[in-house]
Structure 1
Amino acid sequence: MAQKVLVLNQDYSALTICSMPKAFLLVYLNKAELVAESTTAKLHSVSKTFPYPSVIRLQRYVYFPFKGVMLNRQNILKRDNHTCQYCGSKDFLTMDHVLPKSRQGRTSWDNLVTACKYCNSKKGYMTPEEAGMVLARQPFRPSFVMFLRNFSGILDQQWAPFVGAKLETTT
């Protein structure tokens, strides 16, 4: 039951990802409807068989005034594919401010990248240009749907119409 389920708002916009037991409970209590079910599994009780949810839609619209991705270490690592943005290493990763804090660099999506300890100390208080280092890609703020689609680590083909992409693998 480790499979995750995409939760849609009443208007079919992607809202969040939840666990399969929570999704089943929402459907069972008529708080959500089943939009897509898993083709690989079914839920069994003593006397009934239920579809295994893959995508559900809430019966009532849930208003979220701010739908953004939280800035934290785990999300920066996901965005940067757990790779040093200077040398490509996947070992001893830290967070690096592109414009150092000592030069009024902010702690923001646009100024933080993943860096290995070696590259982070080599860069020190300098900018990448001053240190003669090149970023693999410029830091950016991912949108909520982009984060669900690209960085959540869950790839289910049935989510594609709702998150706006063709996903490569089905789990």
Structure 2
Amino acid sequence: MKQRILRIFAEFKQRYGVMKSHHELNLELQPLQLRCSPRRISRLMKELDIHSGTVNKWKAASASKTKVEQRPNLLKQDFSTTGLNQKWTADMTYIQTKRNGWCYLSTIMDLHSRRIIGYSFSKKMATDLVLKTLESAVKNRTITGDLIIHTDLGSQYTSD
């Protein structure tokens, strides 16, 4: 049984877990009028120290329970600028890694140069990540005059 489980595991590129291995194994055993339970396959896979290499799909974060204070949209879809440091946009990107699971990249882009002027990377999506990104952008630029920072009003951007 162990040899058959190892063969199925290798044949399907180490992606099959207990239930899919159970199905494949029972298809092989059917002509012999034999069956094997998922529990037995689970035990044998543990003994062989093998497990599937699949990753859970990303799930959207649940909505915040607190009411988000609405703020005026100062850009109103006008992304044009006449110089640097007039309008910045900020956003977060979810990055799935094999070792650390979901990680988060926070960036700030200057709309005039269309370049990332500040960024920060973390395992946790928190306000601290946004603050580090803002500090990074301010260190890279000299700000004179009015500056608009446009975000999606996510919880990290609207927290105290």
In the superposition, the TM-score normalised over structure 2's length comes to: 0.28
Identify the structure with the greater helix proportion. Answer: 2
Larger-gyration structure (1/2): 2
Identify the structure with the greater strand proportion. Answer: 1
In the superposition, the TM-score normalised over structure 1's length comes to: 0.27
